[in-house]
Structure 1
C-alpha cells in the first residue's frame, strides 16, 4: 500500500487512517464498490468509492466502511466533494481502531485513471515476481544438474523464502535441514512424544495457489509447520517441510519458490534413483560374471571390483539360495502360482538383500550378492579352516529374520568353497549350485547343503547315465512307487527316514510323527513289496542305493 499511495495519480490524496499498516498491507487487485458490499470484495483488494447512496446517511456510510473492513480489503479510498463532502470523524476512528487504511482523494481524480495506474503497478510487481520466480527455478535446476546436494537446494530455497526448511526421504529420514527444529520433525515421525494436530483445511492466505491443495498443515507442540510431498515418476520420494513465522509469509513469491523447490527435489531424487539403479545393475552384472563366467582373477578384474566397493583379494565362500512358497501344492505350482511368485520376486529381493546387508554388518564380514531369476547368489568373506561355521552363522541370522517377515517362504541353500587359485569365484559357484541341485532333487527345500557333503550323490549321478542300472533300479522300486501313488502314502520317504536314524524305530516314528505300530506296519509293507529284508545289510544297502539313484534320475528327467 505504501507503493500505491506513492503513485502520481494519488499525489493529491491523503491517508486519514492506518498509517502504520502501509508497509505491511498487500494489494492484489483494485475495484470500485458502492453499497451494499455483501461478498463482492475479496481479500487484499484496494477499494474505491464515491459514497453514493450514503450522502445523507452517516450511519449507513459507517456501516459500509465496516463491511469493507470485514471483507479483508487492503484499503478504502473515498472520493470526497460530491456525495461525501468530508469523511466523518467516527469513520476515521473506526478505521484507526481496526488498523485499516483509509484514504481521501479529491472528486476531480477519475477512478479510471487510478485503476489504470494501480493495475499497471500490480502488473509490474507480478512481472518482477515472475522474473524472480524464474531466477529461482533456474538456480535450483542448475544446482541439481551440476551435481548439487539436497542441502545445496535448501540453501538456495532458504535464501529466497527466509524460513526454516527441511527435506526427508520416503522413509521420513531427514536428508537435509536448514534451521528447521529437529524436535518437530522427530515428533512428526513418531520418534519422540508430542502433541500433533493435522488441519484438514490448511490455513494459508493464498488458497487459490496451485500448491494449496497439496499442502499438509500440522500443529506440533503449539508450533505450525507445513509439508509438501515430493513425487517423481508417480512415486512418492519424500517430503519438503517449511515453517513460516506467520501465515502471511506465504506470499505468491514464496509459494512459487516452494513449487520450484519441490520440482528440484523431485529431479534430484529422480537423478539419485537413476544413479543407484545404474550402480546396482553394474554390481549385479559384475557378480553374475564372477559366478557364471570362467575368468582368471586378473589385476583388471580386481580393480574393477574395487571401483564397485568389492575386495576380491580375500577368500569367499559361495552361497546359492532358491526358494518356494509353502502354501503352493506341487501340482499347481508351475502354473498360476508360479506367475504369482514371479510377480513377488522384486519384493523378495528387497527383503533378502536387506537381511544379507544386516547380517554382513552384524558379523563384520564383506558380502557380494545378487538376485537372478529367483536364485540368490552370495559371496561371503571367510577363511578355509572355519568357513562352514561362518556360513552357518550368517545363514542363521538371515533365515531367522526372513522367516519373521516371509512366513510362507522356504529356502534351500547350496554352499561351495573352492580351494586353490584360478577361476575361484566360478568354481565356488559351480560347487554351490551343484550342492543345491543335488539336495533339492532328493530332499526338497528347507535345508542347507555343503558341497563336501554330496560326494556319494555325485558318484550316484554318474551311474544315472547308465541305462541298465536305471532299469534295474526301477524294477526294484516299481512296487513301492505304484503303492505310494495308488494309496497316497510315502513308503519311500519312510524308508529313507528309517535309514537316516540307522534303523532306530523310536527315533524314526518320532521324526515322522507316527505311532510305533504304524511305523512297523509300514516297514513290513516295504519288505513285502520289495522282497528285501531291512535287517539284512546287503538288502538294506541295495534298497537305499536304489532309492537314492531313483530320486536323482526322476528329478533329472
Structure 2
C-alpha cells in the first residue's frame, strides 16, 4: 500500500542494483520523496527521503565517508543509494557494517544507471501511490461513517479497520487504558506509546508498529496503535490513518459524553447517600437509581474513610508533575485496587472521592464487622507495599454497619479518622470504638468544670516541670501505664529506683493526692489525658 524501498529495488530498472544492508525492513521502509545529495548534508535531507549519491570526495577517506553516511542516516532518510565505479570503486566494509547495525537500507548502484531514470520512476510510483491512498482513504472514511450512523460500537469500527488494512489495531487512552478488546501481547509497542507525533517503529523480526495521536477537543490523550501481522507487510499511509482517526474520534467523544453523564449521576447519587436524604424521593426511587448505576443499596454496608499520606510527593517521585495528572493517576489506581480487592473477597463495594479523601462502603455481615474491614484493607496494603498507591490513614465506622446506615457510618468513620490520626499519628487504622476515649475527652474539654479540675489537679506539676525540667507529667503517665510497678517504670525511664521514688513523692506533694488511693490515681490519669488533648494535640 505504501511505496517502500522494496518496491524500488524490485523495479526492473534496478535489476543491477545490490542491497547491502537492512533487508528485513525494506518492506516497511516508506519512501516519500527522492533527492540527489553530495557533501555536506546539513539540513537538506527530509525524513523518509531516498538519497542518491556518488559520494564524491569520500573514496579515499574512509572516516569522512562514514561520517557522511551517518549524517544521512541520522537525518531520517528512507535509504541511501551509492553509485560505484567512478568516485567510489567499492563501498568499504565499515560502511556496510554501520548500516547493518543501524538497520538502514544501503543500496549499491552501477555507474551506468542514471539518477534521472531512478528519480523518474520513483516520483511516478509515489504519485500513483498517493492517488491510490486517497481513493482508499475515502472508501474507509465512508464505511466508518456509515458504521457510526448505524450505532455500531467502537469495537466494530476497529475490527473493520483491522480486516481492511490487514493490521492488528487498537485504541488506547493514556488515562483510562484500552478502549477495545484487542490487546497486543508484544512489549515492542511500549516505546511508541504517548508520542505527540505519528511514528513508525521497525522491529527486529521484520514486523513494525505505527502510532498515531488522536487530538480531541476535550484534551484527553488518545492514540491509535497498529502492528503488522506479517514481516512482509507495508505501512499504512498516514493519509488513510488521519482520515480514519477523524471518524473514530466521533465514537470516543460519544463515549466520553456517556461517561461524563454517568459520573454526574453517580456524584449526585453519592451526595444523597452520604447525607442520608433519600426520603425526599423515597427509598424505592433511591434504590432504583442505585440499581441503574450498578449498586445494590439493600445490602448491609460499613463505611471506611481513607486519607492518603504524602500524596503529592508520592506521585511526583513516580513522574507525575501536575496536580491534575496526580489526581487522575491517584483515582484510577485506587479505583482499580478497590474493585479488585472487593472481587477477591466476593464483596460488593460502593466508593467515591471527595478531594483527596476516599470514601468506601464495603458489603458486610453483622458478625465480625471489624475483622471484615481489616481483611479488605489488608488487600489494599499489598498495593501500598508494591508502591502502586501511597500509604493511607483509615477511619472505620463499624458501630453503624448495617442496612441504610450510610450517613451514620460515614460520619463515624470520619470521626474515627480525624481523632485517630490526630492522637495516634498518620498511616494507621482507627475504628470508631477505639477512639471513644478521645471523643469523651474532647467533650470534657468543653466543660468548664472539668477544665478547672484538671488545672487544679496537675497544674502545679506542669508549672514545676517548666521551672525545674524534671518532666514529672511524663513520669506520672509512665507510672500509671505500668500499673504502678516501680521497677518497670524505673527501667522504662532509665532512672535509679530511689530517683523515681523521689519523683513520685514530689508528685503526691504537688497534687495533694496519694498514689495508693485508686480514686486519686483515676483522677490523675483522667487529668493527664485531658491535658494531653488540650495542650499536646491542640
**TM-score normalised according to structure 1 size:** 0.60
**Residues 244/319 of structure 1: CA separation in 2 closer, same or farther (3 Å cut):** closer
Q: How does 1:336-347 map to 2 (within 5 A)?
A: 347=329
**Residues 288/28 of structure 1: CA separation in 2 closer, same or farther (3 Å cut):** closer
Do residues 74 (structure 1) and 113 (structure 2) align? no
**Residues 446/256 of structure 1: CA separation in 2 closer, same or farther (3 Å cut):** closer
- State how far apart, in whole Å, the 1-side matches of 2:243 and 2:468 are: 72
**Residues 520/230 of structure 1: CA separation in 2 closer, same or farther (3 Å cut):** farther
Kept after mapping to 2: 8 A contact 1:321/1:412: yes
Q: In the alignment, which residue of structure 1 is the partner of 2:426?
A: 445
Q: In the alignment, which residue of structure 1 is the partner of 2:370?
A: 388
Q: Map Cα deviations across residues 508-542 of structure 1 (whole Å, 9 max, x no partner).
A: 789xx864659959974766765555554223211
Kept after mapping to 2: 8 A contact 1:506/1:516: no
Q: Secondary structure at the match of 1:405?
A: coil
Q: Secondary structure at the match of 1:74?
A: helix
Deviation at 1:295? Answer: 3.4
* Two-structure CA RMSD over aligned residues (Å): 5.3
Ranges in structure 1 where 5+ consecutive residues have no aligned partner: 1-16, 21-25, 31-38, 44-62, 77-117, 191-197, 200-210, 329-339
Ranges in structure 2 where 5+ consecutive residues have no aligned partner: 1-11, 16-29, 35-43, 51-109, 314-321
Which of 241, 261, 267 does residue 258 from structure 1 map onto?
241
Q: In the alignment, which residue of structure 2 is the partner of 1:476?
A: 457
- State how far apart, in whole Å, the 2-side matches of 1:223 and 1:282 are: 49
Do residues 215 (structure 1) and 199 (structure 2) align? yes
- State how far apart, in whole Å, the 1-side matches of 2:523 and 2:311 are: 33
**Residues 318/507 of structure 1: CA separation in 2 closer, same or farther (3 Å cut):** farther
Q: Map Cα deviations across residues 486-524 of structure 1 (whole Å, 9 max, x no partner).
A: 8999875675565455445777789xx864659959974
Q: In the alignment, which residue of structure 1 is the partner of 2:284?
A: 299
Question: Which fold has the larger relative contact order, with Cα–Cα distance below 8 Å and residues 6 or more apart in sequence?
Answer: 2
- State how far apart, in whole Å, the 2-side matches of 1:345 and 1:439 are: 25
Deviation at 1:219? Answer: 1.6
- State how far apart, in whole Å, the 2-side matches of 1:387 and 1:433 are: 17
Q: Secondary structure at the match of 1:73?
A: helix
Q: How does 1:151-550 map to 2 (within 5 A)?
A: 151-168=155-172, 170=174, 176=180, 185-188=185-188, 214-220=198-204, 222-232=205-215, 236-243=221-228, 249-250=234-235, 254-266=237-249, 268-296=251-279, 298-325=283-310, 347-405=329-387, 409=391, 411-418=393-400, 424-479=405-460, 496=477, 499-503=480-484, 515=494, 520=500, 524=504, 530=511, 532-550=513-531
**Residues 456/188 of structure 1: CA separation in 2 closer, same or farther (3 Å cut):** same
Q: Count residues in correspondence.
A: 432
**Residues 506/189 of structure 1: CA separation in 2 closer, same or farther (3 Å cut):** farther
- State how far apart, in whole Å, the 2-side matches of 1:476 and 1:399 are: 44
**Residues 505/247 of structure 1: CA separation in 2 closer, same or farther (3 Å cut):** farther
Deviation at 1:323? Answer: 4.7
- State how far apart, in whole Å, the 1-side matches of 2:163 and 2:334 are: 43
Which of 141, 160, 181 does residue 137 from structure 1 map onto?
141
Kept after mapping to 1: 8 A contact 2:207/2:227: no
Rg larger in structure: 1
Kept after mapping to 1: 8 A contact 2:330/2:389: no
